[in-house]
């Protein structure tokens, strides 16, 4: 089983990339709790294969997280640090637009 490395406190000009950078272990939070933490970010939600996928994004970062049907954390799908055009922990998933 592959271990997902939790977010670290990356800083750019002394500011964290996102609110997620302040969280040492995302797996300790559920969908509702992370939605409250990231309330100022854009949020997109979709379901696939009985899982809930959520993408939070802003001008500097984008993160996709997979949640179990009850809203508990499943795994980190992707982190994007837009200032550096860097994608971390990328996993292919099917995304359909509305």
Specify the pLDDT at position 87: 81
How many alpha carbons fall within 13 Å on the CB side of residue 21? 15
pLDDT tens, N- to C-terminus, the chain (98 residues): 444 444 443 444 455 567 888 888 999 999 999 999 999 999 999 999 999 999 999 998 999 999 999 999 999 999 888 888 888 875 654 444 44
Domain boundaries defined on the chain: 30-98
């Amino acid at each position: 089983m592959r271990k997902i490395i939790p977010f670290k406190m990356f800083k750019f000009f002394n500011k964290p990339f996102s609110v997620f950078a302040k969280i040492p272990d995302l797996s300790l939070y559920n969908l509702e709790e992370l939605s409250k933490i990231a309330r100022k970010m854009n949020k997109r939600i979709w379901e696939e294969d009985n899982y809930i996928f959520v993408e939070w994004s802003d001008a500097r970062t984008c993160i996709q997280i997979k949640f179990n049907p009850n809203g508990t954390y499943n795994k980190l799908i992707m982190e994007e640090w837009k200032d550096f055009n860097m994608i971390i922990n990328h996993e292919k998933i099917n995304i359909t637009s509305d």
